[in-house]
Structure 1
Amino acid sequence: MVWSVAMNLTSVVFLCLFSLVCLIVFLYMIFMDYSCYVEWEIVTLNSCSFEMTLIFDWMSTIFLCFVTFISAMVLFYSGGYMAGDENMARFMYLVLGFVASMVFLIVSPNLVSILLGWDGLGLVSYVLVVYYQNEKSGGAGMLTALSNRVGDVAILISIGLMFDMGGWGFIFYADSSLLGSVGGLVPLMILAGMTKSAQIPFSAWLPAAMAAPTPVSALVHSSTLVTAGVFLLIRFSPVLVGWAQEILFVLAGLTMFMAGLGANFETDLKKIIALSTLSQLGLMMYILSMGYYKLAFFHLLTHALFKALLFMCAGVVIHSVGGTQDIRSMGGLVYFMPLSVTVMNLANLALCGMPFLAGFYSKDLILEVAFSSSLNEFCFWLLVTATGLTVCYSFRLIYYSVSGDYNLAGLSCVSDEDSTMTQPMVSLGLGAVVGGAFLSWLIFPSPWMICLPLFLKFLALVVSLVGGFIGYVLNMVFVTYRLNSILNYNVVVYAGSMWFMPFLSTFGVSIFFLKISQLYSQSADSGWLEYYGAQGAYCKFESSSKYLQLAQDNSVKVYMVMFMLWAVLASVVLI
């Protein structure tokens, strides 16, 4: 146990130092407008060379800074949350492998080397989701692995398509029309990004991945697994034009709306936060599909700060109330956990876009840019409604878990005593306050002047106030609002189950394709292909070799028989 603690602290210190170095490099690169590209040629095949490449620009270095800093805080937090776990060393190795895969993906401008980090994320995420080794975790891990495997196959096909270009360094072709001229490459990249970032119709795996330990959820949903798809599409953003851009635009808007609606009917604390992650991923894809990749990257970074903080706060609450995750069994925590509740409210307000917190600088800018663009009316109101739903479920969560009636058992011991878990929360809380302003000054050094009518200028604030009122006041005042789940049961089930997407992803689509693959395996792969393929050829060669071996044994009887047969045949011919 002492060795595990020492290893944990060593990892935290190393990640913090690495984050500081990345921050210094980022400041140098963004002020000097400098990028560094490192390349090692490994093999050349048919005029197509395969190189091991790394890229260090302002985007990769600041993302590395955030990933390593949040990972350090999560590991420090895990020292308290996972203190009683028997496999603490295994857990830390898995988390460090997860971070290493994400680091490799960030600095890889080569499609082949990206696949290593991409597959590493998928493999380690599966192992972490099934960490608790029960039936529910096994099902969630299988859904996560199979959903992400679709994106892996898309990248593998893309590698084959890029073979004609003489290399896989897509970073050189993205700014030109060459990459878009490769048939099918852009749709495959969109498919890969949508699977990893859980856009419709691949959204079911993200709430299911909540079966993993809470520190893993804080890391996965903030800066690693789910943001990998967004980051990949940010790298490919110059070729997202035309119909591909429109399809991504519509699916991202629907994902944002669906996640916000489902979170308002969810009662599991971790799944509410997971659905809020899904909603924010939809917002990133939404603005990315409009061509503003810097805004999408800006919101990705600010979201990483307060989302990791929100999951840490949820872990402290779950840890303190005896392991329950139902928000209806909580309430009144502000009197017993003032520090955790304060930081949790801070993260929630940053998520809602409270002025001068981290989320405000990116979210308000995204909304104003979207309002000033040429949106049709459906997409406009979809964005506005999704924004209101975000505030609604955030204030509903605050009411049920923080400021509502005390619903815990009489002997519950709820407190903020574990400083191992509260110290990293305070550090991330500071980032949730000043991180947005810091990033906005660096990424957008010249201020944006967005002129809008008074109605559109105040629309985001009005929608947020209305959403907060519905989420908090109506839950507190009107009993009939709580009875809606009974009176309108079918509507609640449809909205709260993510439009039946988990059912379609498991019993619907997955079982259908698994049965087809089983039929193919039995009839083709293990049937006709074996009979006429490798096994059939082996049997034919084996039977033929017996006759050859018999002839090579130099047996007199064999030669006598052959001579007699030759003589008979010759006599027949002569006659």
Structure 2
Amino acid sequence: MFFVYSSMFMVASILFFIMSLLFMNLGLVYMFEYDLFVLNSSLVCMTLLLDWISLLFSSFVLFISSMVIMYSGEYMYEDLKITRFVMLVVMFVFSMLLLILSPNLISILLGWDGLGLVSYCLVIYYQNIKSYGAGMLTALSNRIGDVALLMAIAWMLNYGSWNYIFYLDDFNESDSMIIISWLIVLAAFTKSAQIPFSSWLPAAMAAPTPVSSLVHSSTLVTAGVYLLIRFSNCFSEGLMMICLLISVLTMFMSGLGANYEYDLKKIIALSTLSQLGLMMSILMMGDWNLAFFHLLTHALFKALLFMCAGNVIHMMMNYQDIRFLGCLGSGLPLTMIYFNICNLSLCGLPFLSGFYSKDLIVEFMSMNYLNILIYIIFYISIGLTVSYSFRLVYYSFLGNFNFLSLSGMKEEFKYMMKGMSGLIYFVVFMGSVLSWLIFNIPYIIILPKVMKVMTLIMILIGVFVGINSFNINMFKISFFLKYKLISSFLGSMWNMPLIFTLGLNKVPVKMGKSVFKLLDHGWTEFYGARKINYLLIMGGKWFQFLSFNSIKMFFILMVVWLFIIFFI
């Protein structure tokens, strides 16, 4: 079953990729409309948009899905409900494809809600209390974006059609399109976990690792970025500046959080959040081409990074704490080679795939007219990315093996390694290939020498901090009297998970307790159901006592009766 779905997705991926090259070369855009039914003279039809963007992204989604499904065959082999798992993953992929190929807000909502519902089912897959909490946080955070999308659908009634693709260029100054663009940005921010909706992304790590590999590379979290790429023509300048600030702060926050985190999957999840902030920020600077380029290259190395992490967790008997790692190169040589290639690609090492998009984004940003705050936070965020990557390398490669003595570490899973090996070539080569394909005219970057080497300086500082973060007490300087408070604040994503779980729940739960105590178990109970019950029981007992034919009661009633007759 795994092999069948993997093969189908692989064939479809190759087909979509060839079509995208053809469409790109000839400048073709096709729209297909299929009439579903007619109701009261209203035609309901399904619309698909085929252009090089949708076809190329679809091919990447299908290729990564095929590798992940092959990988899942061995990763989930002990699961009793493995067929259900595969069906959920396939539904997830089809929801994403529906979203990518739709130029219509209604069908986008179908794919969007499909992603939300299936992701909830996958996050709670292991069925424990932590998974249920994470699933509920994920579902409710994404519902905010779903409501924004529904409101955008209502506003699109002003145009007489829900095919937004027709109206982006002509009506971008109209009030309706400004409102729609704000709603679309809100929807995208919830799905791509930007501040203040970031807390669900690390929580979603409760899902099985193959799902994390799929979710954090090319499907769920990138849906928001893809939607913004489609709507990028209709954003006003003020909206773009606000979104730029939020996305850069998201980069900074997630980079800081990853440097304090010890859970292997959460570090990679925070890394995804950082890269989403990078895509959003360059998109809000006005260049959707670069955002789309980084979206594709990031999908490749992030999927493989999660697959390598899954292999390590599998061998470590499901422990995810990086402090148990060490000297893994001797036990899992191929996995760790792949892991480090992906890490270096994430850092932007020449000439891996991440370098071509990330270096271009940073240099493009340096050529723009921006304030100093955005510039500084951008470069610090790059340094933090390198810092947590090399911290991960330090924990996994160097030192002694810190786990159990009798834990035979070896790469024995054939299909898991095949799934990972299918991606590694693309992680190395696809950046240069995509840069030749997407950009007909290369970017000309002209910068002073200091700004040109600024990226390299920040990378070297990040390497130094990442490897020496244990030996340097740089965060324990004497004037940081509240070190634990500061580290917990930075490491917990600026207390966002706390604010958006307990912060939202505390008052309603307290009020509910008071209502339960005062009303349900208080006055309404005393004067309501219990009082009526008490009166009925007492009345019944009285009549029951009368019906016992007691001679005492007979004489009393006779006296009362005579008394009434005498006086009346």
Identify the TM-score tier after normalising by the shorter chain: 0.7 to 0.9
Name the amino acid aligned to 1:289.
M
Name the amino acid aligned to 1:300.
L
Q: In structure 1, what is the equivalent of residue 33 of structure 2?
A: 39
8 Å CA contact 2:172, 2:234 repeated in 1 = no
Name the amino acid aligned to 2:204.
A
Match of 1:25 among 8, 19, 27: 19
Q: In structure 1, what is the equivalent of residue 86 of structure 2?
A: 92
Please give the residue correspondences for 1:51-90 in structure 2 after superposition, counting only pairs within 5 Å: 51-90=45-84
1:216 aligns with 2:211: yes
Q: In structure 2, what is the equivalent of residue 531 of structure 1?
A: none
Q: In structure 2, what is the equivalent of residue 234 of structure 1?
A: 229
How many residues align? The count is: 512
- Give CA deviations for 1:217-256 in whole Å, capped at 9, x if unaligned: 0000000000000000110000112211111111001000
Shift of 1:507: 1.1
1:376 aligns with 2:371: yes
Where structure 2 has 5 or more consecutive residues not aligned to the other structure, the ranges are 516-568
Whole-angstrom CA distance in 2 between matches of 1:335 and 1:298: 35
Whole-angstrom CA distance in 2 between matches of 1:325 and 1:508: 28
Please give the residue correspondences for 1:387-466 in structure 2 after superposition, counting only pairs within 5 Å: 387-466=382-461
1:468 aligns with 2:463: yes
Name the amino acid aligned to 1:40.
Y
Name the amino acid aligned to 2:428.
V
Q: 1:29 to 1:487 in 2, by over 3 A?
A: same
RMSD of aligned alpha carbons:
2.2
Q: In structure 2, what is the equivalent of residue 363 of structure 1?
A: 358
Whole-angstrom CA distance in 1 between matches of 2:436 and 2:464: 33
Q: Secondary structure at the match of 1:40?
A: strand
Q: Secondary structure at the match of 1:52?
A: strand
Task: Give structure 1 regions of 4+ aligned residues with deviation exceeding 6 angstroms.
Answer: 43-48, 482-487, 513-520
- Give CA deviations for 1:250-299 in whole Å, capped at 9, x if unaligned: 10010000000000000000000000000000000000001100110100
Whole-angstrom CA distance in 2 between matches of 1:99 and 1:142: 21
Whole-angstrom CA distance in 2 between matches of 1:174 and 1:132: 43
- Give CA deviations for 1:484-515 in whole Å, capped at 9, x if unaligned: 89971111100000000001111113555788
Q: In structure 1, what is the equivalent of residue 118 of structure 2?
A: 124
Please give the residue correspondences for 1:499-514 in structure 2 after superposition, counting only pairs within 5 Å: 499-509=494-504
Q: In structure 1, what is the equivalent of residue 492 of structure 2?
A: 497
8 Å CA contact 2:172, 2:233 repeated in 1 = no
- Give CA deviations for 1:144-181 in whole Å, capped at 9, x if unaligned: 00000000000111111111201000011112225753
Q: Secondary structure at the match of 1:184?
A: helix
Shift of 1:426: 1.4
Q: In structure 2, what is the equivalent of residue 261 of structure 1?
A: 256
Whole-angstrom CA distance in 1 between matches of 2:429 and 2:337: 16
Q: 1:296 to 1:180 in 2, by over 3 A?
A: farther
Shift of 1:51: 3.2
Identical columns (%): 52
1:331 aligns with 2:326: yes
Q: In structure 2, what is the equivalent of residue 553 of structure 1?
A: none
Q: 1:159 to 1:47 in 2, by over 3 A?
A: farther
Whole-angstrom CA distance in 1 between matches of 2:186 and 2:507: 20
Whole-angstrom CA distance in 1 between matches of 2:365 and 2:41: 45
Shift of 1:452: 0.3
Q: In structure 2, what is the equivalent of residue 549 of structure 1?
A: none
Whole-angstrom CA distance in 2 between matches of 1:36 and 1:516: 56
Whole-angstrom CA distance in 1 between matches of 2:359 and 2:472: 34
Shift of 1:481: 5.8
Q: 1:481 to 1:178 in 2, by over 3 A?
A: closer
Q: 1:46 to 1:389 in 2, by over 3 A?
A: farther
Q: In structure 1, what is the equivalent of residue 524 of structure 2?
A: none
Q: 1:409 to 1:203 in 2, by over 3 A?
A: same
Whole-angstrom CA distance in 1 between matches of 2:87 and 2:69: 11
Q: 1:354 to 1:47 in 2, by over 3 A?
A: farther
Q: Secondary structure at the match of 1:264?
A: helix
Q: 1:284 to 1:479 in 2, by over 3 A?
A: closer
Whole-angstrom CA distance in 2 between matches of 1:107 and 1:390: 33
Q: In structure 2, what is the equivalent of residue 108 of structure 1?
A: 102
- Give CA deviations for 1:347-406 in whole Å, capped at 9, x if unaligned: 000000001101000000000000000110000001000000000000001101222332
Whole-angstrom CA distance in 1 between matches of 2:143 and 2:512: 15
Whole-angstrom CA distance in 2 between matches of 1:322 and 1:389: 30
8 Å CA contact 2:363, 2:445 repeated in 1 = yes
Please give the residue correspondences for 1:152-301 in structure 2 after superposition, counting only pairs within 5 Å: 152-178=146-172, 180-182=174-176, 184-301=179-296
Whole-angstrom CA distance in 2 between matches of 1:407 and 1:151: 43
Whole-angstrom CA distance in 2 between matches of 1:178 and 1:166: 16
Shift of 1:480: 3.9
Whole-angstrom CA distance in 2 between matches of 1:402 and 1:460: 26
TM-score for both structures, normalised by structure 1: 0.86
Q: Secondary structure at the match of 2:49?
A: strand
8 Å CA contact 1:49, 1:166 repeated in 2 = no
- Give CA deviations for 1:434-487 in whole Å, capped at 9, x if unaligned: 010110000012221110000111111110011011101343xx2646978997
Shift of 1:49: 5.8
Shift of 1:186: 1.3
Name the amino acid aligned to 2:21.
L
Whole-angstrom CA distance in 2 between matches of 1:436 and 1:474: 31
Name the amino acid aligned to 2:238.
W
TM-score for both structures, normalised by structure 2: 0.87
Shift of 1:47: 9.6
Name the amino acid aligned to 2:468.
V
Whole-angstrom CA distance in 1 between matches of 2:236 and 2:15: 36
Shift of 1:76: 0.3
Whole-angstrom CA distance in 2 between matches of 1:225 and 1:262: 21
Q: Secondary structure at the match of 1:39?
A: strand
Q: 1:179 to 1:41 in 2, by over 3 A?
A: farther
8 Å CA contact 1:261, 1:496 repeated in 2 = yes
Name the amino acid aligned to 2:438.
I
More displaced, 504-513 or 384-393? 504-513
Name the amino acid aligned to 1:110.
N
Q: Quick check: which has more Rg, 1 or 2?
A: 2
Name the amino acid aligned to 2:83.
A
Whole-angstrom CA distance in 2 between matches of 1:236 and 1:479: 46
Whole-angstrom CA distance in 1 between matches of 2:76 and 2:481: 38
8 Å CA contact 1:180, 1:186 repeated in 2 = no
